[in-house]
Amino acid sequence: MKIAIINGPNLNLLGKRETDIYGNQPFEKYLDEVKVLFPSVEFHYYQSNLEGELINELQRVGYSFDGIVLNPAGYTHTSVAIGDAIAAIKTPVIEVHISNVHAREDFRKLSHVSGKSAGSIFGLGLKGYELAIRWLIDHK
């Protein structure tokens, strides 16, 4: 089973960035733990700060992988094009946000991604990625 984890802008700074909101753990360290939790899954991790690159990656994996866990970060709230890419591909996408976007500024309440995704998880920290993976495994 192949699952892609795709992280958007500034998530390369996890562990250093606004640690009161996003925690102290770099994503690569967390990913090592995830790989131990799900030894039978082949993970492909991709992070970019650029909208078009995220769309290219969604298109690349979106017809052959079994699932995609996507945190589009700030583009969640602005990118019609990422929403369109999710609608275009065949692989189910789970939207994940580390923080509770509904408990923060109003502009974070709008998602161009939620309506195109199989489901959304927010506010549960990095654990949200694990929960999304578990759903994708059960769903297959």
The minimum distance between CB 41 and ligand DQA, in angstroms, equals 21
Cα dist. 136→1, 88, 123 in Å? 10, 19, 19
- Which residues are CB-contacts of 85 (< 8 A; sequence separation ≥ 6)? 54, 55, 58, 59, 62
Known catalytic residue at 63: no
Among 87, 102, 94, 83, CA closest to 120:
94
| Residue 73 in the binding site for ligand DQA (CB under 6 A) | yes
Known catalytic residue at 97: yes
Closer of 33 and 42 to ligand DQA (Cβ): 33
What is the per-residue binding string for ligand DQA in 74-113, x denoting contact by CB under 6 A? x-x--------------------xxx-x------x-----
Q: Which stretch binds ligand DQA (CB under 6 A): 30-38, 60-68, 69-77, 80-88?
A: 69-77
Per DSSP, the three-state class of 139 is helix
Spatial contact of 85 and 58, defined as CB atoms under 8 Å apart: yes
Active site residues: 22, 97
What does the binding site for ligand DQA look like in residue numbers (CB under 6 A)?
A: 10, 71, 73-74, 76, 97-99, 101, 108
